[in-house]
């Protein structure tokens, strides 16, 4: 089992209170998120699966992937999901200078804006750092620019080849609660575990009368 905890400990959330780890809500809601897309091999499958359960989610997209697959990105928008920034090149924050990191995010943001300019959708500046790696200086700069830094409450570990499909599923259903932000990946690397886990998670929580919601968005 990976050393990183499946569920983010409370003390970690308290150490970084300016980051979003979960959502306070009065409804039975869960917030599914998908990192690393859009990807031809899996993103449209995810969209179809979500649609079959009337579920909304948030997609933290890599700018370079949007550039390569704009039609899939438009499918995400058309289905009414929230869009988040996941940098332009999926860079590691701990190995990148703060100004270079912010510039890479800005490059992705510019591309996102260009793709949604004719849409009614205008997202908040939602950002998730690849690998969860972000330095205090990077975080401070992004917060000052108006970004909401979205972390997570539960990791599925769908990307980990050493985690079985059943374990991936159990990671989610055993740890997710009302208001949980859950991390999946619409990537080739994660596709085997995701294709097993996602429909079962949707079914499991639907039977418990949970709603699947996108992270809050508003007009700029």
The number of C-alpha atoms within 13 Å of 113 and in the hemisphere containing its C-beta is 10
CA distance 43 to 35: 10
Confirm if 125 and 218 have CB atoms less than 8 A apart: no
CA distance 94 to 97: 8
CA distance 201 to 57: 13
CA distance 155 to 181: 9
The active-site residue out of 22, 35, 153, 186 is 35
Angle, to 10 degrees, between the axis of helix 191-207 and the axis of helix 43-52? 10
The active-site residue out of 22, 158, 185, 186 is 185
Task: Look at the block and give the residue holding tokens 């550039």.
Answer: 67
Q: Is 103 one of the catalytic residues?
A: no
Query: What are the beta bridge partners of residue 32?
Result: 182
Q: Is 88 one of the catalytic residues?
A: no
Cis check for the bond before 113: say yes or no (omega within 30 of 0): no
Q: Which residues are catalytic?
A: 35, 185
């Amino acid at each position: 089992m990976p050393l990183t905890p499946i569920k983010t400990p409370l003390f970690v959330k308290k150490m970084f209170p300016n980051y979003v780890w979960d959502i306070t809500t009065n409804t039975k809601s869960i917030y599914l998120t998908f990192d690393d897309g859009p990807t031809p091999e899996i993103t449209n499958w995810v969209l179809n699966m979500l649609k079959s359960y009337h579920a909304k989610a948030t997609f933290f997209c890599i700018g370079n992937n949007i550039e390569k697959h704009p039609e899939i990105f438009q499918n995400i928008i058309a289905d009414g999901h929230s869009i988040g920034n996941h940098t332009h090149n999926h860079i590691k924050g701990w190995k990148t200078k703060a100004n270079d990191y912010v510039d890479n995010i800005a490059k992705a943001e510019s591309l996102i804006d260009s793709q949604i300019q004719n849409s009614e959708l205008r997202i908040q500046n939602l950002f998730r750092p690849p690998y969860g790696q972000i330095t205090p200086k990077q975080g401070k700069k992004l917060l000052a620019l108006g970004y909401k830094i979205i972390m997570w409450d539960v990791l599925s570990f769908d990307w980990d080849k050493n985690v079985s499909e059943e374990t991936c599923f159990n990671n989610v259903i055993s740890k997710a609660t009302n208001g949980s932000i859950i991390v999946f990946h619409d990537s080739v690397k994660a596709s085997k575990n995701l294709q097993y886990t996602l429909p079962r998670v949707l079914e499991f929580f639907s039977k418990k009368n949970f709603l699947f919601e996108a992270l809050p968005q508003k007009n700029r």
